[in-house]
Structure 1
Amino acid sequence: MKQSIWKQTDFLKMWGSQSFQSLGHILLLVLIMTQIYSMTESVFGAAAVLALMSGAAFISGLLASYFINHFSLTRLLFYIGWGRGISTVILGYLLLAEGQSTLFLILIVLFFSSFIGAWYQPARFALLPLVVSKSQYMKANGTITLVHQLIITAGWGIGGLMAVFVPFPAIIGITASCFILSGILIKLIHLTIDTKSVKVDSKVDHAWKKIFHIPIIRTITLMDFIEGLANAIWASALLLAFTTVVLEKGAEWWGALNAGYTVGAMIGSLLVISGLKLLERKIGLMIGLCGLSMGIFTFLFALSPHALLAVIVCVLMGPMYSIRDICQETVLQDIMNPSERASVMAARNAIIAPWTGCTFLIMGYLADVLGIQMVYFLAAALYCIASVIALLHPSLREYTYKVEQEIRA
Structure 2
Amino acid sequence: MNHSVSFRFLWIGQTFANLGDVLYIVGLISLMYQLTGSAVYMTLVPFFITMSQFLSGLLAPLIIDRFRLRSILAFSQLGKTCLSFILGWLLFSSFSFQNITFVFLLVFMISFLDGWSTPVRNSMVPLLVQQIDLVKANSFLSILDQTIRLGAWSVGGILVVWLGTYQVIYVTVVCYFASSVMMFMIKETHLNSHSEETNQTSLPKTNWVKIKEGWVFIWKTPAVRTVTIMSVMESLASAVWVAAIIYIYVEEVLNVGEEWWGYINASFFLGLIIGGFISLRYNRLINEHLSHVIVFGTLISSVFTFLFVVNSIPWLILILSILIGFGEQLGGIAQQTTIQKSSPHKELPKVYSAQYALQLVTYAFSVLLLGYLTELLGVNASFLLASFLLFTSFVFSFLNRKQLNQ
Q: Normalised by the size of structure 2, how large is the TM-score?
A: 0.93
Which residue among 94, 102, 106 is the counterpart of 2:99?
102
* C-alpha distance in 1 between matches for 2:74 and 2:317: 44
Partner of residue 121, structure 1: 118
> For 1:5-16, what aligned pairs fall within 5 Å after superposition?
5=3, 8-16=4-12
* C-alpha distance in 2 between matches for 1:44 and 1:173: 25
Specify the SS of the correspondent of 2:70: helix
Partner of residue 67, structure 2: 71
More deviation, 109-118/361-370? 361-370
Contact 1:65 1:345 in 2 (8 A): no
Q: Residue 140 in 1 paired to residue 137 in 2?
A: yes
Specify the SS of the correspondent of 2:90: helix
Alignment-mate amino acid for residue 84 of structure 2: T
* C-alpha distance in 2 between matches for 1:157 and 1:383: 30
Alignment-mate amino acid for residue 100 of structure 1: F
Q: Residue 245 in 1 paired to residue 242 in 2?
A: no
> For 1:213-232, what aligned pairs fall within 5 Å after superposition?
213-232=220-239
Q: Deviations over 1:352-392 (max 9, x none)?
A: 21121010111111122222113212221211110111111
Alignment-mate amino acid for residue 159 of structure 2: M
Partner of residue 19, structure 1: 15
Q: Residue 84 in 1 paired to residue 91 in 2?
A: no
Specify the SS of the correspondent of 1:246: helix
* C-alpha distance in 2 between matches for 1:63 and 1:398: 30
Contact 2:222 2:404 in 1 (8 A): no
Alignment-mate amino acid for residue 343 of structure 2: M
Alignment-mate amino acid for residue 260 of structure 1: S
Which residue among 165, 170, 174 is the counterpart of 2:171?
174
Partner of residue 405, structure 1: none
Which residue among 303, 313, 327 is the counterpart of 2:320?
313
* C-alpha distance in 2 between matches for 1:79 and 1:249: 47
1:174 Cα deviation (Å)?
Answer: 2.0
* C-alpha distance in 1 between matches for 2:392 and 2:28: 39
Please list every run of 5 or more consecutive structure 2 residues that lacks an aligned counterpart in the other structure: none
Alignment-mate amino acid for residue 145 of structure 1: S
Which residue among 332, 336, 345 is the counterpart of 2:343?
336
1:255 Cα deviation (Å)?
Answer: 1.6
Which residue among 211, 221, 244 is the counterpart of 2:218?
211
Q: Deviations over 1:229-255 (max 9, x none)?
A: 211111111111111111111212222
Contact 2:275 2:329 in 1 (8 A): yes
Partner of residue 356, structure 1: 363
Q: Residue 347 in 1 paired to residue 354 in 2?
A: yes
Which residue among 277, 294, 304 is the counterpart of 1:297?
304
Q: Deviations over 1:206-229 (max 9, x none)?
A: 222112221222211111121122
Contact 2:136 2:283 in 1 (8 A): no
Contact 1:288 1:397 in 2 (8 A): no
> For 1:145-160, what aligned pairs fall within 5 Å after superposition?
145-160=142-157
1:113 Cα deviation (Å)?
Answer: 0.6
Partner of residue 325, structure 1: 332
* C-alpha distance in 1 between matches for 2:174 and 2:237: 37
Q: Residue 35 in 1 paired to residue 42 in 2?
A: no
* C-alpha distance in 1 between matches for 2:7 and 2:148: 18
C-alpha spacing 1:273/1:166, structure 2 compared with 1 (3 Å):
same
C-alpha spacing 1:228/1:25, structure 2 compared with 1 (3 Å):
same
1:192 Cα deviation (Å)?
Answer: 4.1
RMSD: 1.7
* C-alpha distance in 2 between matches for 1:389 and 1:346: 23
Partner of residue 404, structure 1: none
Q: Deviations over 1:240-293 (max 9, x none)?
A: 111111111121222211111111111100111113433111111211111111
* C-alpha distance in 1 between matches for 2:287 and 2:361: 32
Which residue among 237, 240, 246 is the counterpart of 1:233?
240
Partner of residue 383, structure 2: 376
Which residue among 365, 374, 378 is the counterpart of 1:367?
374
Q: Percent of aligned positions with the same letter in both sequences?
A: 27
Alignment-mate amino acid for residue 4 of structure 1: N
Q: Residue 262 in 1 paired to residue 269 in 2?
A: yes
Contact 1:65 1:344 in 2 (8 A): no
Partner of residue 2, structure 2: 4
1:323 Cα deviation (Å)?
Answer: 1.0
* C-alpha distance in 1 between matches for 2:119 and 2:190: 21
Please list every run of 5 or more consecutive structure 1 residues that lacks an aligned counterpart in the other structure: 400-409
1:168 Cα deviation (Å)?
Answer: 5.0
Q: Deviations over 1:97-131 (max 9, x none)?
A: 12122212111111111111101111111111111
C-alpha spacing 1:278/1:33, structure 2 compared with 1 (3 Å):
same
Q: Normalised by the size of structure 1, how large is the TM-score?
A: 0.92
Alignment-mate amino acid for residue 58 of structure 2: L
